[in-house]
Amino acid sequence: MTFEYAPAPESKSVVKIEKEYGHFINGKFVKGKKHFATINPATEEVLSQIANGDKGDIDKAVQAAQVAYTKVWSKLSGAERGKYLYRIARILQERAREFAVLETMDNGKPIRETRDIDIPLVSAHFFYHAGWADKLDYVGVGSSPKAHGVVGQIIPWNFPLLMLAWKVAPALAAGNTVVLKPAETTPLTALLFAQVCQQAELPAGVVNIVTGAGETGAALVNHPGVSKIAFTGSTEVGKSIARAIADTKKVATLELGGKGANIVFEDAAIDQAVEGIVNGIFFNQGHVCCAGSRLLVQENIADEVIKKLQRRMEKIRLGDPLDKNTDIGAINSKAQLEKIKELAASGSAEGGEVWSPACELPKNGFWFAPTIFTGVTQAHRIAREEIFGPVLSVLTFRTPQEAIEKANNTPFGLSAGIWSEKGSKVLWTAQQLRAGVIWANTFNKFDPASPFGGYKESGWGREGGRHGLAAYLKAVK
């Protein structure tokens, strides 16, 4: 007997998508000049036409943000700013299902994740930061700290609305105004968020959203009216931003790439470790900067762990992201799929042993089966480069010291995982790892109260918690 799950699709009826969207500037939607399509990566169906912002659009948005900053937002008390954020948090909770469905359609990630993780965390972020707005003296940058002014924010496509929340909530709580550019493949929830700002009666110009691709982002970074840049995306673009602002007074926080080591010791709770490995690399199709993309497993349990991992992977359900039972959805774009394929091919070419469960990929859309490579060494490209897809590289180690050496042998330093039931070893390992976020006996957990960010080339600064908020404030000299 087999237990087949019949399709259980979430209804799309809660979502209304316009044929075309403009930019959200100064509290209103402004018609764009040129447009590009945003598609559903699971079906390749065109969802809407999105305005392609140019320098002029960015200029208008920055000007609106400057005026809102000087005339309105900087004059409001922290308590009043906080109340706007509370309003936004509540409206996001009320419209959670709508956001979840829209996010799944535009991004390709499973509804289970948008519904249970992304969107609840989004409102949690606004709720958390709302409470900070009137307590800025206690952030740790001295008393009566000042906002930077206009903050330019550029966010990626992997957690579109969640990354918006990570950026916008602390910026507003600290008293800044914002010009935000969502990723070109996933602009829809940001544009729906613009409607939430309207419903919350947020003063015009406090949040401005200009859609577009890399050039639009560059125009925002280079605009002289912007005092601070907050960027999440690739290390390559992060470096170019660092160069672009080198000769300016602008400051920046950067959340960039990673190649997280997930270390499984012989004394781990094996079944939970297997879950953690799966969650570490297959959560959000592996489109996660802090993914546990390098599994470091102690050699004396490697066979058992890999066998259990493979058996577990056979239960992963890949398919329609709107199906409530889907675990892995679509790859966000054709370009990303090509990149994953290219790196996976290099893994095979360099002698890694590839394995995927039997898994039927839908005909339309962009898909990649959950994949593991065993027999990987530090010298393989797939052990060094960020794949940003559902591809796990498995390496082994013999001693804790060797695990640390391998884990730290990378220019990245964002995340790492530790699996052991021995408390002293967990703490030792956590101390030795050169990474900003370390999950012990868990993985890929996020919370607005918890600082997130990387060492080394994984970025500058933290997001979340007191540390994250501090980056949106400056000490009074």
Partner 1 sequence: MKFFGLVDGSESSLKSFLNNLPPVDQVGAEARAATLGTRSIKSSSKAWAIDTAISMVDLTTLEGADTPGKVKALCTKAVRPAPSDPSVPSVGAVCVYNDMVKVARTHLDAIGGAHIPVAAVSTAFPSGRASMAVKLQDTQDAIDAGATEIDMVIDRGAFLSGRLGEVFDEIVKIKEICGDKAHLKVIFETGELVTYDNVRKASYLAMLAGGDFIKTSTGKVAPAATPPVVMIMLEAVRDFREITGHQIGVKPAGGIRTTKDAIKQLVLVNETAGADWLNNKYFRLGASALLNDLLLQRMKLTDGYYESPNYVTLD
Partner 2 sequence: MSRIDVKKTYKLYINGAFPRSESGRVYEVTNAKGAFIANPALASRKDLRDSVVAARGAFGKWSGSTAYLRGQIIYRIAEMLEGRREQFEAELKSTGDKTKITEAIDLIVWYAGWTDKLAALDGVTNPVSGPFYNFTTPEAMGVVGVVSKPTFLEFIDSLMAVIASGNTTVIVAPGALAIPAMSFAEVLATSDVPAGVINILTGKVDELAPWLASHMDIDGIDITGVKKQGELKVAAAENLKRVHSFTKLKNPARILAFMEAKTVWHTVGI
Residues that bind partner 2 (CB under 8 A): 124, 140-141, 235, 238-240, 242-243, 245-247, 254, 256, 411, 426, 430, 434-442, 445, 447, 449-453, 455-457, 459-460, 462, 465-467, 475, 477
Output 251 or 269, the one with its CB closest to partner 1: 269
Work out how close the CB of 269 gets to partner 1 at its nearest, in angstroms, rounded to a whole number: 4
* Contact status: 358 vs partner 1 (CB under 8 A): no
User: Least Å distance between CB 47 and partner 1?
Assistant: 24
- What, of partner 2, partner 1, none, does residue 8 touch, CB below 5 to 8 Å by kind? partner 1
DSSP letter at 40 equals E
Which residues are designated catalytic? 255, 289
Bridge partner list, 297: 264, 396
Alpha-helical segments (H) within 223-357: 235-244, 270-282, 302-313, 334-349
Q: How long, in residues, is the chain?
A: 477
3-state secondary structure of 394: strand
Q: How buried is 246 (Cβ within 10 angstroms: 0-12 exposed, 13-18 middle, 19+ buried)?
A: exposed
5 binds, among partner 1, partner 2, none (CB under 5 to 8 A by kind): partner 1
Q: Is 441 in the site for partner 1 (CB under 8 A)?
A: yes
Shortest Cβ 445–partner 2 spacing (Å): 6
CB of 98 to partner 2, least distance (A): 23
- Cβ proximity to partner 1: between 90 and 324 the closer is 324
Show contacts with partner 1 in window 266-295 (CB under 8 A). 267-272, 275-276
* Cβ closest to partner 2, residue 242 vs residue 270: 242
Kindly state the smallest distance separating residue 268's Cβ from partner 1, in Å.
7
Q: Which residues contact 92 (CB under 8 A, 6 or more apart)?
A: 99, 119, 122, 123, 126, 196
CA–CA distance from 462 to each of 56, 89, 414, 437 (Å)? 31, 22, 11, 10
User: How far is Cα 375 from Cα 12, in angstroms, rounded to an integer?
Assistant: 43
Residue 430: which of partner 1, partner 2, none does it interact with, CB under 5 to 8 A by kind? Answer: partner 2
Positions in 53-92 near partner 1 (CB under 8 A): none
**What does 6 bind: partner 2, partner 1, none (CB cut-off 5 to 8 Å by kind)?**
partner 1
Which of partner 1, partner 2, none binds 7 (CB below 5-8 Å, type-dependent)? Answer: partner 1
Sign of the C-alpha dihedral computed for residues 33, 34, 40 and 41 taken in this order: negative
- Out of 55, 90, 324, 339, point to the residue binding partner 1 (CB under 8 A): 324
CB of 349 to partner 2, least distance (A): 28
Helix or strand holding residue 391 (H, E) = strand 391-397
Q: Considering CB under 8 A, how many residues would be counted as binding partner 1?
A: 24
* Cβ–Cβ under 8 Å, residues 278 and 327: no
Strand pairing category for 294-298 and 391-397? parallel
Q: Is 441 left (phi over 0), alpha (psi -120 to 50) or beta?
A: left
Query: Which residue, 40 or 444, has its beta carbon nearer to partner 1?
Result: 444
Select 36 or 455, whichever has its Cβ closest to partner 2.
Answer: 455
Footprint of partner 1 on residues 363-422 (CB under 8 A)? 421
Residue selected from 44, 94, 116, 353 as contacting partner 1 according to rule CB under 8 A: 116
Where does residue 433 rank: exposed (0-12), middle (13-18), buried (19+ CB within 10 A)? buried
For residue 45, what are the β-bridge partners? 40
Please state the closest distance from residue 267 (CB atom) to partner 1, in A. Answer: 8
Name the binder of 275 from partner 2, partner 1, none, CB < 5-8 A by kind.
partner 1
Neighbouring residues of 349: CB distance < 8 A, sequence distance ≥ 6: none
The maximal CA–CA distance of the chain, rounded, in angstroms, is: 73
**Residue nearer to partner 1 on the CB measure, 11 or 143:** 11
For 150, the enclosing helix (H) or strand (E) is: strand 150-154
Least spacing, CB of residue 92 vs partner 1, in Å: 21
Q: Kindly tell me which of 4 and 360 has the beta carbon lying closer to partner 1.
A: 4
Q: What number of H helices and E strands is found in the chain? A: 15, 20
Query: How far apart are the C-alpha atoms of 138 and 121, rounded to whole Å?
Result: 24
User: Which residue among 16, 19, 249, 315 contacts partner 1 (CB under 8 A)?
Assistant: 315
Q: Which residue ranges make up the site for partner 1 (CB under 8 A)?
A: 1-8, 112, 116, 267-272, 275-276, 315, 324-325, 421, 441-442
